[in-house]
A and B are shown apart, each in its own frame.
Chain A
């Protein structure tokens, strides 16, 4: 590791006013969006990505990482105050956060959540800084066969994120992979599912309009439906917050939970497909098991809040490890970040550590700054953010829709892209309605082209002999891990379904 260049990159990022401003703006937007139940960090990043086009890479990545880190913390605000997690990653925070609020300790819960989020984020960023170059170094030996198997490994986690039905998750994934093949064949330039006259689709479905459609437009349609049917109620918070940071005594009590949560979050975040929503429960469980008083968990203790909040922010650093070192996104937000890198002409992966090393170090610095920005924004605005949960959805949904449609247009300045966005909005709405998960489509859209490109290269090099892949130990290891992940996920999902059924009875 080139420490001189690392410090130089940190200085270049931390002393750049544009990066500071964008990261603070991103953190602010992320906390606001995260605090509103139903609005996730993924949606925030998807919505704001078009705003980053006119910027240089690092300010735009700072903006997006700010939203990512801010969104992770923001989710805890509504979880603590109104028992409704703003994001899935804050789902476990309400187990102790809300009881603390009921005991009149809302301010303490929010300050613990903010401090733990910051510490967890810093742990994640540090681990990422020192671990991702090692992984990238190993990945330097990868050829098309290994890269193909790496993509398959990335896709294997689809089962883990499929939700109740594995069959539905896999249908979504194959559907997403099929969508990737629309347009010109990348090797021979042969049109697939289109003609040369359909110029708008020659490059296939553009990633950002598709993403905005699936996640933002679909959510607006579903949200309008919920409001009309009376399912969506307006939340209100009248809680007054006195302290913005936890006192020294509390920090002494919670630091082991923060440390373990940050590390658990980082390592779970580094597994492609496993995000903050999984990490928080693992961290909460580990913290409870290690405690001398496990019976107190769930009754409103700061240790529970610290364990979950440090874990979900630790994920942000963890998820960046496979993104930067292997070019495989760790979760849905990093999948969008991958799109942002590609649009700026930089392809994350092992080669980035050779050709774009200063950029890699600047991304490390930007993530660290995003965590600090989240802490600053949190300290300054925690009293105000508590009111965000009361934002009127009747005003919010139309705003999200018009911002989404403009975002879809702004990429290529093409009306056709707005049409694509709306079409995917409808597809996303219908698939959500009938519980076909959308995350596998997102993962497939990202990994599909990588998978096909390397498959074609490998087959041509090996003269059509696919079984030659077994000659590569790295490819075999990826294959074995993929199979293990699939088997584990199937058994795990069965267990979850069984428990859910028992709970229902």
Chain B
């Protein structure tokens, strides 16, 4: 196994990302407006947190780097183990995870246009298909009835109005009952 596939290497990358985030956040705090007659500025508390995050990111960076430098073939400790992959080109399971994220983004984008029930039905049918469900009757029943039931609970019991898109007529229909 290559060193770049180990937990130690993943930790190294993770620590670098948090260091970058910390530096970016520190630069941002410099842009916060300052107020007179106060002992604590708006930037004070975030800066303490950034320093804490940077210190422990550097600790993780050094730990991981030292481990990578001293790592030998056959090491059995946790840092030498194989790290999880996020290569969605090579790994089908990661690709499935990425597709779920894209579906969620699509859900957010279409939520107000198509409404909750249609968006939720579509997203759940696609997810079931991706994870290998092939019983179409069960898939359609669950995908349609669960969002409808959820909407009904929120609409009638909790009096929360949820966008329904083209199915808006259901609100009037249920309202009349």
Chain A residues with CB under 8 Å of chain B are 51, 53-54, 164-165, 167-168, 170-171, 173-175, 177-178, 181, 185, 187-188, 190-193, 217, 220-222, 224-229, 392-395, 397-399, 401-403, 405-406, 409-410, 413, 415, 418-419, 422, 425-426, 429-430, 433-436, 452, 455-456, 459-460, 463-464, 497, 500-501, 504-505
Q: Which of these, A227, A397, A402, A419, contacts B146 with CB under 8 Å?
A: A402
Classify chain B: how many residues form its interface, as a range: 35 or more
Residue ID in chain B nearest A453 by CB atoms:
B45
**B contact residues around A53 at 8 Å (CB):** 158, 160
B75 to chain A, nearest CB (A): 11
* Known contacts A178-B25, A190-B33; 15 further A-B pairs (Cβ under 8 A): A54-B158, A177-B52, A190-B32, A225-B97, A229-B91, A398-B124, A409-B116, A415-B108, A415-B111, A415-B112, A429-B97, A434-B11, A434-B84, A460-B40, A501-B77
Query: Does B170 sit at the interface, judged by CB under 8 A?
Result: no
**A contact residues around B124 at 8 Å (CB):** 398-399, 401-402
| Alpha-carbon distance A217/B123, docked complex (angstroms) | 13
CB neighbors of A among B69-109 (8 A): 76-78, 83-84, 86, 91-94, 96-97, 100-101, 104-105, 107-108
Number of A-B contacts (CB under 8 A): 195
A504, B77: Cβ atoms under 8 Å?
yes
B87 to chain A, nearest CB (A): 12
Query: Does B7 sit at the interface, judged by CB under 8 A?
Result: yes
Check A409/B104 contact, CB under 8 A, given A167-B60, A190-B33, A397-B131. no
Residue ID in chain B nearest A169 by CB atoms:
B56
CB neighbors of A among B106-161 (8 A): 107-108, 111-112, 116, 120, 123-124, 127-128, 130-133, 138, 142-143, 146-147, 150, 153-154, 157-161
**A contact residues around B86 at 8 Å (CB):** 430, 433
- List, sorted by A's number, 20 A–B pairs whose CB atoms are closer than 8 Å: A54-B160, A165-B11, A167-B56, A167-B60, A170-B52, A171-B18, A178-B50, A221-B101, A224-B96, A224-B100, A225-B97, A226-B93, A227-B132, A229-B93, A398-B124, A398-B142, A406-B162, A415-B111, A422-B101, A430-B86
Closest 6 CB pairs of A and B: A398-B124, A229-B93, A54-B158, A174-B53, A464-B39, A185-B42
Chain B residues with CB under 8 Å of chain A are 7, 10-11, 14-15, 18, 21, 25, 28-29, 32-33, 35, 38-40, 42-43, 45-46, 49-50, 52-53, 56-57, 59-60, 63, 76-78, 83-84, 86, 91-94, 96-97, 100-101, 104-105, 107-108, 111-112, 116, 120, 123-124, 127-128, 130-133, 138, 142-143, 146-147, 150, 153-154, 157-162
| Alpha-carbon distance A374/B142, docked complex (angstroms) | 28
A192, B101: Cβ atoms under 8 Å?
no
A409, B128: Cβ atoms under 8 Å?
no
A410, B104: Cβ atoms under 8 Å?
no
B92, A456: Cβ atoms under 8 Å?
no
B162, A175: Cβ atoms under 8 Å?
no
**B contact residues around A170 at 8 Å (CB):** 52, 56
**A contact residues around B32 at 8 Å (CB):** 185, 190-192
| Alpha-carbon distance A393/B116, docked complex (angstroms) | 22
B49, A434: Cβ atoms under 8 Å?
no
**A contact residues around B25 at 8 Å (CB):** 178, 193
Residue ID in chain A nearest B116 by CB atoms:
A406
B80 to chain A, nearest CB (A): 10
| Alpha-carbon distance A301/B133, docked complex (angstroms) | 40
Q: Which of these, A403, A455, A459, contacts B150 with CB under 8 Å?
A: A403
| Alpha-carbon distance A459/B132, docked complex (angstroms) | 58
Q: Which of these, A165, A178, A227, A418, contacts B131 with CB under 8 Å?
A: A227
**A contact residues around B96 at 8 Å (CB):** 224-225, 227-228
Check A401/B78 contact, CB under 8 A, given A171-B56, A418-B108, A463-B39. no
| Alpha-carbon distance A433/B56, docked complex (angstroms) | 19
B57 to chain A, nearest CB (A): 6
Q: Which of these, A51, A167, A174, A401, contacts B63 with CB under 8 Å?
A: A167
B94, A225: Cβ atoms under 8 Å?
yes
B119 to chain A, nearest CB (A): 8
**A contact residues around B93 at 8 Å (CB):** 225-226, 228-229
A224, B154: Cβ atoms under 8 Å?
no
A395, B133: Cβ atoms under 8 Å?
yes
A228, B131: Cβ atoms under 8 Å?
yes
Residue ID in chain A nearest B158 by CB atoms:
A54
B104, A425: Cβ atoms under 8 Å?
yes
